[in-house]
Structure 1
């Protein structure tokens, strides 16, 4: 196997709320502490990376990775609508400087799901002026960091809600009297906790309402324009989630519906970006009635997703073909306690990516999800996606063999994948 492009970004990704700890001013933290919360357990101290980011970067850089995708926590930067924290901005400036000092390219995500409580209180993405509020926050961050940051991701998985609707995980257009009582009660408790009105206050995700989706589209456009105005050489994109949608007999129209609702509108907007982010973990089988469960295989994932690493190459090709944009793989990984399986999954995923590169697709980089075993939303700390294990009591970091393996792949710029493949064959 020949090497990947010389400028390829080999790295790992994280999200602020999942690793920093004690992001007490955002909507997700508020919901974590509501009675009957859908989250298995609160995030609490998470991985304490707010204080230990230099240690995390030391491990990443020592392994041989050359890039790091992380997110800025909006609620730290803007704890109230008209209050911006220069002290918190300085913290993220120090994080960026720590990357640069270690020869690591920072890739900064401006919104990885969590939004400030004040934003949720007034209607989250459905409120009037939501895009202007996001642009205001974006300008504050980019003005301070843009001299050291070239790569910007505006939104992480902005299509997550649309995917839930398109694949039938949530009912489309359910009337108020069809919503389960416990869901209505949870919404009311959340509104009470954040000091908002029932029917107005809401979590930012999943983004379901058509007006909210349009506001996110506008927010991305405005943020992109603001970043380019401030730093014309910056590279800007966003990272929709996408599976490899495969069709079973009779499922062709189902696939077209899913793509039309949850993927193509978001990729359409990427045509104006410098790159399209791709976040893929597995495939989705579609039949006439919707999603079809895959046949069990010997490999197991803690999430229950099918082991199917080849999905990444397929979605890279699809995203590039639709958008005519270079692809940046912003997330890919596997939740497993078996680190050998993690290595095998990642190797096979990267082989599928290299095949796409050989066929002419421009791929800019690969950011593994994730650097650290972290707090995984509704699942709490049960899902281990990380290249590094984290002790829940002491926060001690223990690199897994997969970190060293991916570092070797990075240092060889992909050449060691061929050796791995030869060993597997023998």
Structure 2
């Protein structure tokens, strides 16, 4: 894989996404200003993704990509965390830790393994996951599509195909018919701007040939002349269709059954300008494209923030000399969350849920420090009147981190790769206590 192996998790799968205007200054709470109470029903929880934790998602496009040669993936997902079978254990653990919400994905490739052929058994499985959430007092936040798609969908060209929006809306309608009454909130797409953000990254030129070779091999293995993923899609062919897919799925989900807010999640890192004539605002706009406008038409926007990026007049600037770096290769900068919340609230006028925020590290004390500083930013935003309704940490489990396999550990809970034993880290207890006390 050459240089591609050195790209960070978010650089590869979400690029250097971000849209915080450079002019945004760090937030400072006015001296003596009394903290505002948290909103009624503020959600505290963790976020997961179906493909990253369930295991053996054999009908998904990325399952094939993981197991083909050549591949960008350091290792295949295989059993992942075996959460497909151990979901009740995980949900019970999250509740025991003190959380009141749980974000998870339903896997399209399981529910519709062949075009138009829906599995009632798999829908029943996700119904049981929802029931387990309610039984343990966790509000279920459902993601309808977290980067993976059915293999048959990728073979047709994914969202590059003209009828892709109708196919995704059909899936959303079918899933909602079964699951809707038990859903608390839902997002159509996870980090919908991922392909745009990745392709704006200067490192994309390095990884693109590897990606093309991998997906060419997938197409050949599938007996197709194409194989298009969500992450590496041709934006000129796919983005308008995916926006339309979001809009149609939004309407299908809102039609019920169930009555819950529906939105979209966007990858946002704080974009900060450096020096005269910097291009921070232009880069921010490029990274988000049409997706902030799409979010403004929904019920909420999900904020997914990990760090900041620095932009001067020539483009991307390296992190400051001596800056602490995470195990994922980007700067330790939890303060980015406050900037992105403010940007999204101003841009959309919609309530904000922090649907992902976290750190890859082997030193759990740094995770605690990251959480502490990130929550201070959420508190400052709420104090200033911004409608923030929840904080969902990435992630509950150390899981399959896409092309980097199992080496990057974002979890509050460690997972033994052989026995699948779950072991909460001190950070899990720390965040759980904050959640139980409802204290930012």
Deviation of 1:154 (Å) = 0.4
Q: Which residue of 1 aligns with 2:147?
A: 113
In the other structure, the counterpart of 2:135 is 101
CA contact (8 A) 2:65 2:215 kept: no
Superposition RMSD in Å:
1.7
When structure 1 is superposed on structure 2, of 122-131 and 293-302 the one drifting more is: 293-302
Supply the distance in 2 between the matched residues of 1:157 and 1:406 (Cα, whole angstroms). Answer: 24
The one-character-per-residue Cα deviations of 1:71-123 (angstroms, maximum 9, x if unpaired) are: 00110000000210000000000000000011100000000000000000010
Higher relative contact order (CA 8 A, sep 6+): 2
CA distance in 2, matches of 1:179, 1:57: 38
Q: 1:280 maps to which residue?
A: 305
Q: List per-residue Cα deviations over 1:320-362 (Å, max 9, x = no partner).
A: 0010111011100000011111011011001011101111100
Matches within 5 A, 1:21-420: 21-171=55-205, 180=209, 183-197=211-225, 200-231=226-257, 233-252=259-278, 254-297=279-322, 299-414=324-439
- Partner SS for 1:147: helix
Cα displacement (A) at 1:298:
5.9
Distance 2:380 2:213 in 1: 50
Q: Is the 8 A contact 1:300 1:336 kept in 2?
A: no
Give yes or no for contact 1:162–1:208 (8 Å, CA) kept in 2: no
Shift of 1:23: 0.2
Aligned length: 406
SS of the aligned residue for 1:409 comes to helix
Aligned-pair CA distance for 1:128: 1.4
Which shows bigger deviation, 184-193 or 120-129? 184-193
Deviates more, 1:258-267 or 1:269-278: 258-267
CA contact (8 A) 1:320 1:361 kept: yes
What's the CA shift for 1:3?
A: 4.3
Q: C-alpha separation between the residues in 1 aligned to 2:161 and 2:93?
A: 42
CA–CA separation in structure 2 for the residues paired with 1:405 and 1:3: 21
* Gap runs ≥5 in structure 2: 1-34
| SS in structure 2 at match of 1:12 | strand
| Residues 258/66 of structure 1: CA separation in 2 closer, same or farther (3 Å cut) | same
2-structure distance, mates of 1:66, 1:77: 27
TM-score scaled by structure 2?
Answer: 0.89
Contact 2:160 2:228 in 1 (8 A): no
Q: Secondary structure of 1:364's match?
A: strand
Query: How many Å apart are 1:193 and its aligned residue?
Result: 1.9
CA distance in structure 1 between the partners assigned to 2:211 and 2:326 by the alignment = 29
Question: Which 5+ residue runs of structure 1 have no aligned equivalent?
Answer: 418-426
Change over 3 Å in CA distance of 1:317–1:183 after alignment to 2:
closer
Length-normalised TM-score, structure 1: 0.92
Distance (Å, rounded) in 1 between the aligned partners of 2:250 and 2:308: 30
Give the deviation of 1:257 after TM superposition: 2.2
Distance 2:410 2:253 in 1: 31
Task: Give the direction of change, closer, same or farther, for the CA distance of 1:102–1:232 in structure 2 (3 Å limit).
Answer: closer
Contact 2:43 2:390 in 1 (8 A): yes
